[in-house]
Homo-oligomer: A and B are copies of this chain.
Amino acid sequence: MSATFSYDALVAFSRSVFTAIGCPEEDAVLATEVLLSADLRGIDSHGIARLSGYVRLWDAQRVKAAPDVRILHETPSTATVDGDSGLGLVVAPKAMQIAIDKAKQCGSGWVSVQHSNHFGIAGYHALMALEHDMIGIAMTNASPLVAPTFSIERLLGTNPIAVAVPAGAEPPFVADLATTTAANGKLEILQRKNGVAPLGWIQDKEGRPVTDPHSLKAGGALLPLGGDREHGSHKGYALGAVVDILSAVLSGANYGPWVPPFPAYVPMPTGMPGKGIGHFFGAMRVDAFRPADEFKQHMDQWIRRFRSAKTAEGYDKVLIPGDPEREMEAVRRADGIPLLGPVVDDLRFLSEKFSIPMPPAADRSQI
């Protein structure tokens, strides 16, 4: 049965689970913060709903709880990091921190990561840059669900790109987008509802545009941003490809159809050309280009101009990337995080598996 939980209750539970699989205390804290940032920001598909999935990867010995994350190769502004098969939730913020440290030293830092796993939401890692007055960039490849333009094979993941930009008085600009028309999480919602997907989201196994959300599991594919060639799907495909190349060809991870699957029951691809999945991070000090105060004043002006743009009939206002997620976070910190029945069942499975008490469900009055 679905229920609502306070953020703190889910934090305590998630930390206990990560500790139970052998994560060092600080890694359990970090992985929990990254994981739950998705729930707070309303990206439910990437949050605690995946906790049992991570545990199953650990059960299948595809994830190490205490990895030796290390730099394989570096220059003053770049590094390649070996995630040692750790949780992406831990490997990614460590790699982003390396990018930030390099940016402090020489203006910018760029880190490509091999041998990692799913890293939660890209936005979390990009956001890490903001407190340092840096622009943060994060991307990752992911298991193949997306067919390139003209193809019927799934060769790319939803390969997201996140860019976080500090502002002054205004809240930051935070873009976090899958390079597909629709994120897989949105399709999963339609699958549960037996709903109808807009044309342009998916194709069937013959490559025909279809609206049945179950077509994806019947050999179909998600479509690159644009949907079809006439609407620019070759651009979404190119962007997803760039993410794949920077994350995996540059680092020595697996790319394209060889990216390992998230569900532990799915067999690994054969002939894998690299290690694990790949990420790519960037950090640029704003004052490596112009004084930070000046930059932030202009970002404020940028944000205000766009936010106050005239709208088409039926729309209240033009959104700044990051607005919806920030508003959701305020609501969920106050009112709690609602979880669907199957997610609650997953938490119960983990509770029993590790003898950890279930997080107490809360109604609004209790939070």
Contact = CB atoms under 8 A, between A and B. Distances in A.
Interface of A: 73-80, 106-108, 110, 112, 135, 148-153, 155, 161, 163, 165, 173, 175, 177-182, 198, 200-201, 203, 206-208, 225-227, 230-232, 234-239, 241-242, 244-246, 249-252, 255-257, 273-274, 284-286, 288-290, 294-295, 298-299, 301-302, 305-306, 309-313, 315, 317-319, 321
Q: How many copies does the complex hold?
A: 2
Given A78-B107, A244-B302, 16 more contacts: A75-B108, A77-B107, A77-B288, A78-B284, A80-B289, A148-B309, A151-B311, A151-B318, A152-B309, A161-B239, A165-B245, A165-B249, A177-B232, A182-B232, A225-B225, A251-B290
A91 B234 CA distance: 29
Chain A at the B interface: SS class: mixed
Contact of A238 (B175, B207, B232, B284): B175
A68 to B, nearest CB: 19
Given A207-B313, A273-B298, A242 B77 contact: no
Contacts of A237: 321
Given A225-B226, A255-B302, A312-B152, A290 B73 contact: yes
Contact of A107 (B110, B135, B255): B110
A77 B80 contact: no
A249 B155 CA distance: 36
